[in-house]
Amino acid sequence: MTTPTEPMSGDGLGGAGDRPPAGVTVRSAERADLLGVFRVEKAVFTQPWPFAAFEKLLDAPAFLVADGAGTDRGSGDDGVAAGDVLGYVVGDLTPNHGRDIGHVKDIAVRPAAQGQGLGRTLLRRALYVLAGDGASVVKLEVRESNHRAQSLYADEGFDPARRIPRYYADGEAAFVMLLDVDEWARGDDADPA
Ligand SMILES: CC(C)(COP(=O)(O)OP(=O)(O)OC[C@H]1O[C@@H](n2cnc3c(N)ncnc32)[C@H](O)[C@@H]1OP(=O)(O)O)[C@@H](O)C(=O)NCCC(=O)NCCS
């Protein structure tokens, strides 16, 4: 597995969107993070995953957390108990005859820490890990009404591939969005700002 806190050679890691805000570290999730992850999940989603779902995915290659220990980021009153986990992304990989498919299954930033670039940093780090582990394409599903997340994904190069009616338990449709992550990694010679 690629170590997500270390740059991968030749991938252009080091652009502004790859660096978390000062004092925040993006690293692989550990068991001790799961409660913090679950608290953020419950704060931002109307139909949160159960705790056990995160436990099962603990070894997923791109289960990363933004650790804000030692900073006061995310300390606003957002209904999430104090903790180090400011946000997380869960991404895994399915073998597919040499064209492995990455899947960003979940991503969230606690409300008090949103809008500071953390969501983009988490997404990009997960994409680097998945590309480094052999993904050719990365997919995700997003609620039709979630324009904020959609604009982040579109900005990183994801294209809507199809709409799945009643994908979510409350009846809302999802857009499936796809990214050619090989191309993304090649073209992403981000200027070290
Ligand atoms: C989606 C989410 C992860 C983004 O994280 P974030 O840390 O707030 O986002 P960032 O600060 O990195 O912003 C990244 C991009 O998101 C979009 N964005 C952020 N805030 C936005 C807003 N208020 N309105 C519209 N777009 C917005 C923009 O494209 C932004 O890029 P820009 O700053 O260059 O314009 C976060 O809003 C979140 O946790 N939402 C609730 C959970 C969720 O919906 N997860 C996605 C499930 S598919």
Assign residue 91 the CATH number of its domain: 3.40.630.30
Q: Residue 146 falls within a domain, yes or no?
A: yes
Pocket of ligand 1 (CB under 6 A): 44, 107-109, 114-120, 142, 146, 148-149, 151-152, 155
Structural domain contains residue 147: yes
d(C-alpha 160, C-alpha 111), whole Å: 26
- The reply to whether 52 falls in a domain is yes
Rounded Cα distance, 107 and 100, in Å: 21
Angstrom distance (rounded) from CA 94 to CA 51: 22
Q: Whose CA is nearest to atom 16 of ligand 1?
A: 152
State the distance from the centre of ligand 1 to the C-alpha of 96, rounded, in angstroms. 30
Contact present, 188 and 10 (Cβ < 8 Å)? no
Query: In 3D, which of 124, 158, 160 has the Cα closest to residue 144?
Result: 160
Question: Is 9 within a domain?
Answer: no
Which residues constitute the domain of residue 180?
A: 16-187
Q: Check residue 175 and give its pLDDT.
A: 98
Question: Is 192 a domain residue?
Answer: no
Amino acid at position 151, single letter = S
Task: Please report, in tens digits, the pLDDT of each residue of the chain (193 residues total).
Answer: 444 443 332 233 456 678 888 889 999 999 999 999 999 999 999 999 999 999 999 999 999 999 998 777 777 777 787 778 999 999 999 999 888 999 999 999 999 999 999 999 999 999 999 999 999 999 999 999 999 999 999 999 999 999 999 999 999 999 999 999 999 998 865 443 3
CA of 97 to the centre of ligand 1 (A): 34
- What's the total number of domains in the chain? 1
The atom of ligand 1 lying closest to the CA of 142 is 48
| Adjacent-strand bridge partners of 162 | 176
Answer whether 141's CB lies under 8 Å from 162's CB: no
Q: Is 142 domain-assigned?
A: yes
CA 166 to chain centre: 23
Check residue 7 and give its pLDDT.
Answer: 33
Q: With respect to residue 2, please indicate whether it lies within any of the assigned structural domains.
A: no
Residue 5: inside a domain, yes or no? no
